Structure formats: C-alpha cells, structure tokens
C-alpha cells in the first residue's frame, strides 16, 4: 500500500523503476494476446479479418525470442496492434471470464 500511495501522490515511478518493469509489461502483453488468440479457437470465434490468422502465426513465432530478450520488437508490436484491433479478438476478450486471462 505504501508503494501505491507513493506512486499516486508523489512523482510516480522513477526512470530506473520504469526500466525494470518494462520487460515484465512486455511479457504480460505478449502472454495476454497469446491467451486471447488461443481462446478464440476454444470458443469458436473467428478473426473478423482473415489476414489476422497470419498475424497470429507470427505472434507465436516471434514471442519466444521477444520474451527471452525482454523486448518488444517493432514487427511484433505491429502484429499485436493489428490483432488487438480485430473485432474477433475483441469479441473473445469480452468473454475473458470463460478462460484464463491475467490482469
């Protein structure tokens, strides 16, 4: 609670703290979009744009390297952005109570 109060009422995170958490945020982002894409198959939800299936394949191909390096390369961030904008992905996200999705 003390840390949260400091973040809210003082200057927030320092640059060093931001650097330390960056890899965690990237990893959580990658894991979450992967969980959504996997759940789409289980929930029988299709991508609104069929081209997103190629993006999903790229996501799984690029994710291991990105997580190991603690980075989010531009090509992977583009894949995630396009997937997130897809109406099928959004429909699956709206049903997140039906599968395991981290906060």
Q: Is residue 11 part of a domain?
A: no
Q: Backbone phi, then psi, for 75, in 5-degree steps?
A: -65, -40
Look up tokens 């992905």; give the residue.
89
Residue 51 lies in a domain: yes
Residues 45-92: pLDDT tens digits?
A: 999 999 999 999 999 999 888 777 878 889 999 999 999 999 999 999
For residue 73, what is the domain's CATH number? 1.10.400.10
The range of the structural domain enclosing residue 47 comes to: 22-98
Query: At residue 39, does pLDDT exceed 70?
Result: yes
Chain segment 4-34, per-residue pLDDT in tens: 776 777 777 778 877 888 888 888 999 999 9
Domain count within the chain? 1
Q: How confident is the model at residue 1 (pLDDT cuts 50, 70, 90)?
A: low
| pTM value > 0.75 | yes
């Amino acid at each position: 609670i003390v840390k949260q109060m400091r973040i809210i009422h003082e200057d927030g995170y320092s640059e060093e703290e931001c650097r330390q958490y960056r890899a965690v945020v990237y990893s959580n982002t990658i894991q979450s979009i992967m969980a959504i894409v996997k759940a789409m198959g289980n929930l029988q939800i299709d991508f609104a744009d069929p081209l997103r299936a190629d993006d999903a394949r790229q996501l799984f191909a690029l994710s291991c390297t990105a997580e190991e390096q603690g980075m989010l390369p531009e090509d992977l961030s583009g894949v995630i952005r396009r997937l997130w904008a897809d109406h099928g992905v959004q429909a699956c996200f709206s049903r997140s109570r039906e599968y395991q999705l981290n906060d």
